[in-house]
Amino acid sequence: MSLPCSSDPLESSPDETIEARRDDARAADHNPANEMSRVLRTAPIHLAADPSGGAIAHWNHGPLHDVVEPMTDHVIMAYNGAIQRMERRSGRSIESGTFRRGVVIIIPAGSSSRWDIPKPVDVVQLYLPRTTLTRIADETDTFTPTDLLERTAHPDLITSRLLLSAADVLEGNTALDTLFRQQLTDLLATRLLAAHTGKAPNYQPALGGLAPSVLRRAIERLRSDADADVSLGALAADSGLSRFHFCRAFKESTGLSPHNWLRQYRLEQAINMLRDPQNSIALVAASLGYASQTAFAAAFPKIDR
């Protein structure tokens, strides 16, 4: 899908036009997903919003020649398509780069730029609220709260792999999907603070795991029925820790992240339930919180009755 680029006012006065668009955007208070839909003229393949803030979207769109307005959240992109050159202009500044796996694009909240991408694009985007970045900086006691640097096709294999994994691990289970996205968002925010702010972290020594009573409460909550609140916020509140420190301590105690622990527990539940010939796969899927039998089968493909 090619967007028209002839008679583009940016060609003659990019500073004035982008500034005017900034004023309009401030009034409109752009939501990142809505703004990307407007620019790309398509809907995302998948969009998963987190009640605690932020969202992850997977896009597959055609060539782009347009201005992306300022957005309320930081936007971090990982590319998953064929190698191609692209160009990004902000005012009089022009940056070019090569889209390929292993690079990231960072659009700080409130910034605007003109993009020229000649070929189709497959990309996963994280919409990261400023408040989330500040929370992670405060919780870790390692980073100074700050904004992100702009990046255009910047090499960062770690961040790219983390973000692209979001497109592959959605399982059709509300509790598991939400917990995974929350863990991933916090992990990505930590990585972004370390690698894309221009400030060196003040590393603190790692602490131990959870106290036995706290670990027991956490596991009891994770073992609750499929409708129980097993969000990171609920688990952390029970433990009296921040989300960041709860995740770190839980993994120290169990060897697994909360998401992986819950996924393993649900797998064991599924195997035990399917041993009873009275239980159909559809019944087991519904009991464990999966949206459909298909989603359940995709999450646990090796289960054999």
Beta strand 64-68 pairing with 74-79: unpaired
Q: What residues have CB less than 8 Å from 220, skipping those under 6 apart?
A: none
> So what's the pLDDT on residue 27?
36
> So what's the pLDDT on residue 64?
95
> So what's the pLDDT on residue 251?
93
> So what's the pLDDT on residue 12?
42
Whole-angstrom distance, CA of residue 206 vs CA of residue 194: 16
> So what's the pLDDT on residue 140?
81
Q: DSSP secondary structure string, 238-257?
A: HHTS-HHHHHHHHHHHHSS-
DSSP state of 142: S
> So what's the pLDDT on residue 297?
83
Whole-angstrom distance, CA of residue 75 vs CA of residue 303: 38
Mean pLDDT in runs of 10 for the chain (305 residues)? 36 48 47 91 89 86 94 94 92 91 94 94 94 89 81 95 81 81 92 87 71 95 86 93 92 94 92 92 89 82 54
CA-CA-CA-CA dihedral for 266, 269, 270, 271, to nearest 10: 130
> So what's the pLDDT on residue 168?
67
